[in-house]
Amino acid sequence: MSKQIALDYAEHANWLLDSAHKDAERYRRLAADLVAPGDRRAADIGCGGGGMAVALAATVPEVVAFDADAAVLDVARVYADRCGAALAFALGDIESGPEVLLDALGGAVDLMWAGHVVHHAADEQAALATLAAAVTPGGRLAVAEGGIGARVLPWNVGVGRPGLQARLEAAGSERMIAENLERGAVPMPYGWTAALGRAGLTEVRTLNEIIDRPAPLEGAALTEALENLEARVGWFEAFLDEDDRAAWKTLLDPESPAWLGRRGDLHHLEVRSVYLGRKPKRG
């Protein structure tokens, strides 16, 4: 099987829209935590379905949804229209440098949100420096990265070899390694808090959100867990061996007696991390 490396998110328009809708409450909570009195401009970098941009627009007068893919921006427009949110949209690449980013955004912003986008840059540290340069003095940069991925399955599900989900996570890492090699990525052998500091930000801190949904998952929680697993299997399957691909096909098939949706031992335990830093004021 040939390995598809970089993910084409424009091919997953429905997934982007669904994710923006499902995470709307989480985005509202994050926006409430991140927006400061007096913020006039904000940006959602790598906006995807536009979920965070819409949440920010509830309290910030001007919000720019920014992405490197015009088709993804079209998805964000659809979601913003559904929500009745007035957003500005900008096409660009965070690897093009601070001047290009500032021009695309129409100037610096008081709050910049970059959700799971910086790790796709060939030089993550340079990308953070570019983002920080487009933040107003005293403004903040919030970067959603890292954390601990959702644990859903027991170690032994009775189909295939034990440790199936751990190997799926490892396949995701292998896909990321391959993507880094493909684009000649510069290693960043330190964590996100250190990286924000090196980008010139101060008061750097981590906001962790723990999602703890014990077994048995039911209703919307079960549907979400299954859809997320299915999406990741699709993204990473080229980095799974034949036995694991067969096991996932059986477990995710509603017609199969082993379908995961019939089990009573699925759970959802996850840590989502946001790293926040402030740009020093001049003088």
What span, in angstroms and rounded, lies between the C-alpha atoms of 37 and 29? Answer: 16
Instruction: Say which residues have a Cβ less than 8 Å from residue 257's Cβ, sequence separation at least 6.
Output: none
- Report pLDDT for 111: 98
- Report pLDDT for 4: 45
Q: Do the beta carbons of residue 87 and residue 20 sit within 8 Å?
A: no
Closest CA to 196 of 79, 96, 101, 112: 112
Separation of first and last alpha carbons in the chain: 58
Joined tokens for residue 82: 């559904």
Residue 163, sorted as left (phi over 0), alpha (psi -120 to 50) or beta, turns out to be left
Which domains are present in the chain? 1-145+188-210+271-283 (3.40.50.150), 150-185+215-266 (no CATH)
What amino acid occupies position 32? A
Residues of the chain with pLDDT under 70: 1-12, 283
What amino acid occupies position 207? L
Quick one: 260 exposed, middle or buried, by C-beta within 10 A (0-12, 13-18, 19+)? buried
- Report pLDDT for 282: 80
